[in-house]
A and B are shown apart, each in its own frame.
Chain A
Amino acid sequence: MKKKLTAIIKKNQQIAHGMFEMLLSVGEIAALASPGQFINLYSNRKDLLLPRPISICEIDKEKGFIKLVYAVVGKGTSDISKMHVGDIIEVMGPLGNGFTISKEIKGHIIIGGGIGVPPLLELAKGLTGEMSVYLGFRCEPILVEEFKKYTDKVYIATEDGGWGIKGNVIGLLKSNHPKGEMIYSCGPKPMLKAVASWAEDNDIKAQLSLEERMACGIGACLVCTCKAKDNNDWQYKRVCKDGPVFLREEVIWNE
């Protein structure tokens, strides 16, 4: 039977303004995890009932470690950011369907925005062939050096122009005209929508990782849905179980 697990915190430190990196020792999850999947983190505060879904950023199967990178945005992530090395945190996972990696595909385009960047790192590690990476941030970039380990082609955009070009990833795409057979993307919904439409215009396949507020995280409660095509009709699909990664043709953006 699956269950909630206890992970030991090996590292929990700030890597940029309001941004933390957490290393967890939890062999059961590391053994099963694949890029694009997420885990549920349970804060110690008993008034916060719901788990916080956080993507898996890196996996070390040998050591049984997983790395997370998270932004402190509210009560739960703030509480989690105050935990110490050696503390125990309850987690569940790996959850959801991650990215599909096909050996046949040789040209990869990775597009990440803000807190959508972390899940793309483990993916970049596993891809073979040509790869280019486009990352957009509000101000301070994260994980850029890590991506550079896997390709020279890492391009950055920031809203204030402090790093890379001034603007967003769509601007980068429009000026660089990257070639490739498959796009992998994660980031805020408006960015994903723009990526989907750029991909369609350029006739490139795309896998998009969505984000929605969740409760159970395993597909039972139907609170985390997104609008998706279904034959000639549409239905609300579960981001936690049917996703978080969806094909660009599936997603309906009008909500």
Chain B
Amino acid sequence: MNRPGLKVNIAGVELKNPVMTASGTFGSGLEYGEYVDLNKLGGVVTKGVASIPWKGNAGVRVAETYGGMLNSVGLQNPGIEEFIKKDIPFLRKHDTKIVVNIAGKTLEEYCSVVERLAGEDVDLLELNISCPNVKEGGVCFGTDTKMVEYMVKEVKKIAKQPLIVKLTPNVTDIVSIAKAAEAAGADAISLINTLLGMAIDIHKRRPVLGNIVGGLSGPAIKPVALRMVYQAANAVKVPIIGMGGIMTGEDAIEFLLAGATAIAVGTANFVNPRATIDILNGIEDYIIKHKEKDITSIIGSLNK
């Protein structure tokens, strides 16, 4: 029997299948490459990288919650120079798309990473605009439509690769944020990043996380993520990369039906290091079982 077509297109970049890794959960693939054939993935989205090395937050950095987890890594990363020296050459040895997730504390910092990557062999950029803006006094770049528009416009001016803008779910109206990103020139939108949360150790009467608050991920956030992907997909024309609690092929299909062109797998990797491959197989099984022509006939195909 013929295998169904799984190719999808994100801003002119063809992925062999819609399964990507979620930034920060997969490093640059080096460690998980011992468990997963990276050549089988649609794309590897790397850990957020900044213009200079960031040390990250003091511990404790993780707390397990019911069906989820909180993290407060604080974007520890080796800086763009080290990343270009080590991570890009490693990933290039594989037949998968390279998506570089970009972190910054100011617009200038984001831009310097984007500029530095201009001549590098990477396929897509993912702008992580859900981290605190130091200049603006702790307000998130990604929570204000004006700020999103301004940021994306400035970054688009210098970006040499297509730009994915990654949205935070910690907003009242995801649709207006998604529209602002699209209007400013985003080539694709990915969502959701983690939901701000907290856990308390009742015996010590202290927050579990050293940072007090952290980002909630995993199956606990899936309904919220799915709702936001659905709303965003109905509001913008650019492709959507959906994520948030995807554990199985069925979960991934829900996101595709809701309108995501591709999906990313994060926390599930910690539960099962081969989660990406199992999810990919699950997607394929669904297409075969439902006698669909290929993956594209599923995307955004909810019955009205």
Compute how far the CA of A4 lies from the CA of B64 in the bound complex, rounded to whole angstroms: 20
B90 at the interface (CB under 8 A from A): no
Q: Is the CB of A50 within 8 A of B270?
A: yes
Q: Is the CB of A92 within 8 A of B273?
A: yes
Q: Is the CB of A222 within 8 A of B56?
A: yes
Compute how far the CA of A17 lies from the CA of B109 in the bound complex, rounded to whole angstroms: 54
Q: Is the CB of A225 within 8 A of B32?
A: no
> Which of A24-32, A143-151, A172-180, A209-217 lies at the interface with chain B?
A209-217
Compute how far the CA of A217 lies from the CA of B271 in the bound complex, rounded to whole angstroms: 10
Provide the residues of chain B in CB contact with A3, threshold 8 Å. Answer: 35, 273-274
B67 at the interface (CB under 8 A from A): yes
Compute how far the CA of A212 lies from the CA of B37 in the bound complex, rounded to whole angstroms: 29
Question: Knowing A1-B36, A47-B66 touch, does A216 contact B269 (C-beta < 8 A)?
Answer: yes
**B173 nearest CB across to chain A (Å):** 30
Per the CB 8 Å criterion, the residue count for chain A at the interface is 33
B71 at the interface (CB under 8 A from A): yes
Q: Is the CB of B69 within 8 A of A50?
A: yes
Q: Is the CB of A213 within 8 A of B63?
A: yes
Q: Is the CB of B67 within 8 A of A49?
A: yes
A101 at the interface (CB under 8 A from B): no
Q: Is the CB of A222 within 8 A of B66?
A: no
Provide the residues of chain B in CB contact with A234, threshold 8 Å. Answer: 55
A residues 191-235 with Cβ under 8 Å of B?
212-227, 234-235
Provide the residues of chain A in CB contact with B30, threshold 8 Å. Answer: 220
B136 at the interface (CB under 8 A from A): no
The 8 A CB mask of B265-292 against A (1 = contact, 0 = none) is: 0010111111000000000000000000
**A202 nearest CB across to chain B (Å):** 29
Chain B residues proximal to chain A, CB less than 8 Å: 24-27, 30-32, 34-37, 47, 55-56, 58-64, 66-69, 71, 73, 76, 218-219, 267, 269-274
Provide the residues of chain B in CB contact with A236, threshold 8 Å. Answer: 55-56, 76
Q: Is the CB of A215 within 8 A of B270?
A: yes
Q: Is the CB of B64 within 8 A of A214?
A: no
Interface SS of chain A: helix, strand, loop or mixed?
loop
Provide the residues of chain A in CB contact with B24, threshold 8 Å. Answer: 221-222
22 A–B contacts, CB within 8 A, in A order? A1-B35, A3-B274, A47-B67, A49-B64, A49-B67, A49-B68, A50-B69, A213-B60, A213-B61, A213-B63, A216-B269, A217-B270, A218-B273, A219-B31, A220-B27, A220-B30, A220-B31, A220-B269, A222-B47, A223-B62, A223-B73, A241-B31
Provide the residues of chain A in CB contact with B63, threshold 8 Å. Answer: 213
Provide the residues of chain A in CB contact with B64, threshold 8 Å. Answer: 48-50
Question: Knowing A49-B218, A221-B24, A223-B62 touch, does A1 contact B34 (C-beta < 8 A)?
Answer: yes
Compute how far the CA of A57 lies from the CA of B56 in the bound complex, rounded to whole angstroms: 33
Provide the residues of chain A in CB contact with B271, threshold 8 Å. Answer: 42, 49-51
